[in-house]
């Protein structure tokens, strides 16, 4: 049975920007190993697998190497596909059952999609001298959100100028690294880049899940509950963040790049 497959640029204002994700609409449950093989074949930072349920959709995310617990851009891409294909009414929210609990998405004016995610606290942390050398940064502050590092640096110029040594990073233990600073532009509150060579993604173009921590971190520092963030990867992506206590709303746009079918 052919399985419908979409490639979507998420957190993108136009094609070939933001973060590409594959979205696979499953007619029935498939084995974990099969989904991992598909994600490797797609060779994108995330492939999302959707399976309809009585009260929404089961949603799982795979990098080319592993299944992950939370992914923002592939969730936004999945919601975009459900509305695009009329699998949800235009005013109907998307409901996703995931390893991180129930996540929802809603359409806003101007094509904006807003996803509702858990807020993640940033605790004090440390980064080894070897990790900092591989990144090429001098940190102002180091924190941890779960097993991932958040490193604040002096300036947006420092964030944009990063040229990490990924071979050295892969030789260390780790899960993910968000490097961030306050923005030099009045259009954005803060900027960031995100690296995860340990799960097969040297640099992620736009990382919604990292903003579950970056949003509260900068919200506290800047004393704001609504922020505009820019992820300064080569493709780049704009995120609109609304802090709501234990939840974070992350808004962005999406563009479908291609559609097709899986035949295996």
- Catalytically active residues are 46
What's the CA gap between 236 and 255, in Å, rounded? 14
Helices of type H across the chain: 32-42, 72-84, 129-135, 156-160, 166-170, 211-222
* Ramachandran sector of residue 146 (left: φ over 0; alpha: ψ -120 to 50; beta: rest): left
Give me 178's structure tokens.
């968000």
Per-residue H/E/C for 137-195: CCCCEEEEECCEEEEECCCHHHHHCCCCCHHHHHCCCCCCEEEEEECCCCCCCEEEEEE
Please choose, from the candidates 185, 126, 122, the residue with its C-alpha nearest in 3D space to the C-alpha of residue 155.
Answer: 185
* CA-closest candidate to residue 232, choices 170, 185, 165, 199: 185
Q: Cα 94 to the chain's mean position, in Å? A: 17
Query: Residue 26 has which token pair?
Result: 């499953």
């Amino acid at each position: 049975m052919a399985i419908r497959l979409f490639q979507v640029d998420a957190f993108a204002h136009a094609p070939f920007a933001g973060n590409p994700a594959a979205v696979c609409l499953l007619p029935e449950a498939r084995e974990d190993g099969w989904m991992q093989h598909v994600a490797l074949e797609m060779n994108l930072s995330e492939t999302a697998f959707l399976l309809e349920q009585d009260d929404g959709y089961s949603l799982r995310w795979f990098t080319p190497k592993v299944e992950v617990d939370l992914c923002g851009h592939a969730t936004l891409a999945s919601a975009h596909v459900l509305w695009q294909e009329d699998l949800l009414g235009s005013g109907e929210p998307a409901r996703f059952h995931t390893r991180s609990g129930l996540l929802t998405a809603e359409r806003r004016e101007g094509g904006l999609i807003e996803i509702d995610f858990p807020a993640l606290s940033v605790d004090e942390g440390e980064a080894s001298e070897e990790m900092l050398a591989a990144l090429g940064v001098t940190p102002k502050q180091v924190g941890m959100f779960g097993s991932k590092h958040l490193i604040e640096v002096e300036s947006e110029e420092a964030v944009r100028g990063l040229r990490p040594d990924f071979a050295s990073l892969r030789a260390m233990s780790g899960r993910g690294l968000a490097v961030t600073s306050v923005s030099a532009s009045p259009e954005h509150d803060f900027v960031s880049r995100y690296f995860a060579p340990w799960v097969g993604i040297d640099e992620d173009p736009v990382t919604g899940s990292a903003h579950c921590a970056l949003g509260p971190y900068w919200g506290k520092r800047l004393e704001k509950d609504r922020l505009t963030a820019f992820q300064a990867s080569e493709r780049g992506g704009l995120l609109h963040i609304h802090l709501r206590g234990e939840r974070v709303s992350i808004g962005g746009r999406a563009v479908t790049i291609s559609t097709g079918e899986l035949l295996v």
